[in-house]
Amino acid sequence: MLEIKNLHAKVEGEDIEILKGVNLKVNAGEIHAIMGPNGSGKSTLSKVVSGHPEYEVTDGEILFEGEDITEMDADERAHLGLFLAFQYPVEVPGITNKTLLREAYNTIARANDREELDPLEFEDYLVSKLDVIEMKDEFLNRSINTGFSGGEKKKNEIFQMAVLDPKLSFLDETDSGLDIDALKIVSDGVNKIANDEKAIVLITHYQRLLNYIKPDFVHVMMNGKIIKSGDIALAEELEANGYDQLQKELMLNGEAQ
Amino acid sequence: MSEETKALESMIGEEYKYGFTTDVEYEEFPKGINEDIIRELSARKEEPEWMLEFRLKSYRAWREMEEPDWFNATYKKPDFENLLYYSAPKKKPKLDSMDEVDPKIRETYEKLGIPLEEQKMLSGVAVDAVFDSVSVFTSFKEKLAEAGVIFCSISEAIREYPELVKKYIGSVVPARDNFYAALNSAVFSDGSFCFIPKNTKCPMELSTYFRINNMESGQFERTLIVAEEGASVSYLEGCTAPMYDENQLHAAVVELVALDDADIKYSTIQNWYSGDEEGKGGIYNFVTKRGICKGKNSKISWTQLETGSAVTLKYPSVILQGDNSIGEFYSVAVTTKKQQADTGTKMIHLGKNTRSTIISKGISAGQSNNSYRGEVKVGKNAKGAKNYSVCDSMLIGQECGAHTFPYISSENASSSVEHEATTSRVGEEQIFYLMQRGISEQDAISMIINGFVKDVLKELPLEFAVEANKLLDVKLEGSVG
């Protein structure tokens, strides 16, 4: 579904590369976890893949279902079925969640020659998704993320994911700032959404999340590259020994710079 | 500048759609101002002696006044000797019937989306059309008269209802109030008059559409709205002008009087020509608007959407004299290119338990400068007075400015005054967030702006909310494909 080849990227107008040759392949039905310390480039990767204008790709390419999306605008990528759950969901005062989601849903439907939903149909559809994340319907009429608690914002991201029904979702540190109850609700939500036709990429610092959402693959990112890939055992090893230990081992083996 | 900001800037720089000129024959006075011009003006309008006296006294006061310069704006001061103080399309003797309106002028209003034929108008909206110095047509007069409502040009009111006009004109904005009010009081050429008698709810929305056409004329209109005990009215003004390289002066005075239990809602959609990219041309919009809640339980509400003009200086205010009276000010001021706006309100609490609300939203883009200036004053007898103010500014791009100047003074300890202010930038993060959800860049920007101004636009009468949204769209959308 997603194939990232030798991806290099930097902040537009600056010299320092943040991504230094990322390679990643994600197939339908798979859940991947990307772990790594602060500043390793995990969040940048999710933004570059979803088309954040602040970043410039300097080398490599991003293929989505075989199509090169490296230069596409963010909204076109969303139309193809790419979703990013933000680490810091943005507040947009004066526009309700419901308005945003109806606009978004129908725009995506139009782009894919699917039928749009009228306001009443959409209302029913929306309400049917509330259970995914144990969300109260009052959320629908509140301004986007405005005055939401940190946990509510993260839940809202997963709710939006449920409504827009993307093929591939990047979840950027969705677990950070959540208490244990909220973490469970969010994880349950993601598990309900996940199926054989969808792919999910979790970006996280902590192994904690992976107790609730079981990844098929775990990747460790450091210094702008994926330096090691494995299964859930890799996450457990990291949790036990830390990133430093892994880096030392790899250096001994001559696998990292 | 990032791609987003550039896109935003170009959307906002959308071309002005009302900038055409109408070729009509004018009758004009010579340029400049003196007592003879004023006498001639008054005679032309067949005014009574007291009106002429009012004008002359105002003129003499104005001569002695200094042009103010405390605004947060810089501009070339108007040359008062080089202005036309009276410029009216040549007309037939009476304009009461549609057939007597110059077809070219009728066409002009059609083009502006204001058809003058009653059957084509928005149902439930009566229009007074002011073209340069004079009112050219007022619709639905008969229908309003049945309800006892007087709605006509101020010139006609001075002739037909002199006692009413004499009683109220200058009672809220005295001639000596300020430099531009004094000038207006001396030379005002036309405007609208509305009188809503006791216990009458005005059966339709009233509106005046102001059009400046002549390049060299100043427009000095005078509006007076009186709502007697228990009366209520909703009034709206709209404004456009052609594009000229020279600045034109628009110096209006609006006075509102609300007696016991009366309710006046005054809305403005101001879209004067704002000048070009270099800041050349555009209207100077120097306006004095003030209402008095004279009676107890009365209410005056100002709502304004200010998008045009090269320079705007205006502070629609409410004097809360009657006990339990309410003053409101809802404002969206949009400045782009090199526009400058210094606008806000004054709420003067005199009566007991008076309440005021101020919601001001400023949007600045391009190299424009947008200032909110507001004063809340609580007098010593205003026991239990309450004010709540919110001033939010939104910046688009890096070269514009937003400023807030709140002045608060209270002489009564039992009053409460609350002021909140925020400044935000239309962030790339906000745009990216919405685009990531599949929404186009243009729609994302439009959504963000609409969300920002929603609290104000919802105060506009329903009939005009659509127009306001369209205007914002024209101003803030369009060119990104």
- Assess contact for B431 and B445: CB atoms under 8 A: yes
> Given CB atoms, is B418 within the 8 Å cutoff of chain A?
no
> How far is residue B365's CA from residue A237's CA, in Å, rounded to a whole number?
53
Give the tokens for residue B135. Answer: 């009112």
| CATH number of the domain to which A110 belongs | 3.40.50.300
Q: What is the DSSP letter of A196?
A: T
Is the Cβ of B452 closer than 8 Å to some Cβ of chain A?
Answer: yes
**Model confidence at A74: pLDDT above 90:** yes
pLDDT at B77 over 90: no
According to the model, what pLDDT value does residue B479 have? 25
Which H/E stretch holds residue B343?
strand B340-349
Confidence band, pLDDT 50/70/90 cuts, at residue B241: low
Give phi and psi for B177, each to the nearest 5: -55, -50
Contacts of B452 in chain A (CB under 8 A): 93-94
Note the pLDDT of residue B478.
31
Rounded to whole angstroms, the Cα distance separating A202 from A209 reads 9
- In this complex, do A94 and B455 lie within 8 Å of one another by their Cβ atoms? yes
Residue of A nearest to B4 (CA): A53
Q: How far apart are CA B465 and CA B481, in angstroms?
A: 26
Residue A190 domain-assigned (yes or no): yes
The distance from CA B2 to its chain's CA centroid, rounded to whole angstroms, is 35
pLDDT band at residue B195 under the 50/70/90 scheme: very high
A237 or B257: which leads in pLDDT: B257
In A, minimum Cα distance to B425 occurs at A92
Structure tokens at B6: 């550039």
**Has residue B9 got a pLDDT over 90?**
no
Q: Is residue A136's pLDDT more than 50? A: yes
The candidate with the shortest Cα–Cα distance to B91, out of B159, B25, B31, is B25
Please answer whether residues A108 and A79 qualify as being in contact, where contact means their C-beta atoms are separated by less than 8 angstroms: yes
pLDDT confidence of B242, banded at 50, 70, 90? low
C-beta neighbour count of B293 within 10 angstroms? 32
Report ipTM for this prediction. 0.94
How far apart are the C-alpha atoms of B270 and B234, rounded to whole Å?
17
Q: Of B261, B263, B217, whose CA–CA distance to B242 is shortest?
A: B217
What's the sign of the alpha-carbon dihedral B158, B267, B71, B220?
A: negative
**Distance in Å, alpha carbon of A167 to nearest chain B alpha carbon:** 13
Q: What kind and span of H or E run contains B209?
A: strand B205-211
Cα–Cα nearest to B188, from B288, B69, B308:
B288
8 Å CB contact of A107 and B3: no
- Cα separation, A178 vs A176, in Å, equals 6
Structure tokens that stand for B196 in this block: 């809503």
| pLDDT, position B176 | 92
Q: Chain A contacts of B429, Cβ < 8 Å?
A: 90
User: pLDDT tens-digit profile of B322-376?
Assistant: 999 999 999 999 888 888 999 999 999 999 999 999 999 998 888 888 999 999 9
pLDDT-derived band at B221 (thresholds 50, 70, 90) equals confident
CA distances from A127 to A124, A139, A167, B127, B444 (A): 5, 11, 21, 45, 24
Confidence at residue B7, expressed as pLDDT on a 0 to 100 scale: 47
* Closest approach of B308 to chain A, Cα-based (Å): 24
Q: Which residues of B touch A95 (CB under 8 A)?
A: 447-448, 450-451
According to the model, what pLDDT value does residue B302 have? Answer: 96
Query: What's the pLDDT band for A257 if we cut at 50, 70, 90?
Result: very low
Cα separation of A186 and B343, whole Å?
A: 47
Phi, psi of A139 (to 5 degrees): -60, -35
What's the first-to-final CA gap in chain A, in angstroms?
30
SS3 B362: strand
Length of chain A (residues): 257
The pLDDT of residue A255: 52
Domain boundaries, chain B: 3-476
Question: Cβ contacts (< 8 Å) between B437 and chain A: which residues?
Answer: 78, 100-101, 104, 160, 164
Q: Which of B430, B438, B455 sits opposite A92 (nearest CB)?
A: B430
- Lowest mean pLDDT segment, chosen from A129-133, B47-51, B175-179, B279-283: B279-283
A12, A94, A160 member nearest B437 (Cβ): A160
Overall average pLDDT of the A217-238 stretch: 91
Question: What is the structure's pLDDT at A125?
Answer: 94
Q: Using CB atoms, which residue from A53, A94, A104 is nearest to B428?
A: A53
Q: Residues with Cβ < 8 Å from A217, sequence gap 6 or more? A: A30, A31, A32, A33, A229, A230, A231
Chain segment B107-166, per-residue pLDDT in tens: 776 766 666 665 555 556 677 777 766 676 677 778 888 999 999 889 999 999 999 999
Q: Could B2 and A53 be called an inter-chain contact, meaning their C-beta atoms sit closer than 8 Å?
A: yes
Q: Which among B2, B3, B454 has CB closest to A94? A: B454
Q: Which residues of A touch B430 (CB under 8 A)?
A: 90-92
- pLDDT greater than 90 at residue A242: no
User: Residue B291: its pLDDT value, please?
Assistant: 98
Question: Span A157-185, mean pLDDT?
Answer: 93
Give how far B428 is from chain A: nearest CA, Å.
8
Query: Nearest CA to CA, how far is B422 from chain A (Å)?
Result: 13
Distance CA A93, CA A36 (A): 33
Mean pLDDT, residues A24-51 taken together: 94
B94 pLDDT above the threshold of 60? no
Q: Which residues pair with B312 in a beta bridge?
A: B285, B341
Q: What is the pLDDT of residues A138-151, one digit of tens each?
A: 889 999 999 898 88
Q: Are the CB atoms for A153 and A173 separated by under 8 Å?
A: no
Range of the domain at A123: 2-252
Closest approach of B441 to chain A, Cα-based (Å): 8
Q: Is B443 on the interface with A (CB under 8 A)?
A: yes
Hey, what are B242's tokens? 């052609």
List the structure tokens of B65: 């006044």
- The answer to whether residue A257 sits within a structural domain is no
Cα B177 versus chain centre, distance: 18
Say whether A54 and B428 touch across the interface (CB within 8 A). Answer: yes
Helix (H, G, I), strand (E, B) or coil at B434: helix
A51 chain-B contacts, CB cut-off 8 A: 435-436
Is the minimum CB–CB distance between B451 and chain A shorter than 8 Å?
yes
Write out chain B residues lying below 8 Å of A49, CB-based.
none
Most confident of A224-228, A234-238, B215-219: A224-228
CB contact under 8 A, B437 and A100: yes
Secondary structure (DSSP) of B149-169:
-EEEEHHHHHHH-HHHHHHHT
- Whether A171 is in a domain gets the answer yes
B377 contact partners, CB below 8 Å, separation of at least 6: B346, B347, B348, B349, B408, B409, B410
Q: Which of A53, A75, A77 sits opposite B4 (nearest CB)?
A: A53
Residue A237 has pLDDT above 70, yes or no: yes
**Average model confidence (pLDDT) for chain B?**
84
Q: What is the pLDDT of residues B268-302, one digit of tens each?
A: 888 878 888 787 888 889 999 999 999 999 999 99
Contact flag A103-B448 (C-beta cutoff 8 Å)? no
Domain count, chain A: 1
Q: Is there a contact between A12 and B2 if contact means CB atoms under 8 Å apart?
A: yes
**Of all residues in chain B, what percent carry a pLDDT higher than 70?**
84
Q: How far does B93 lie from chain A, in Å, by closest CA?
A: 52
Write down the pLDDT at residue B238: 79
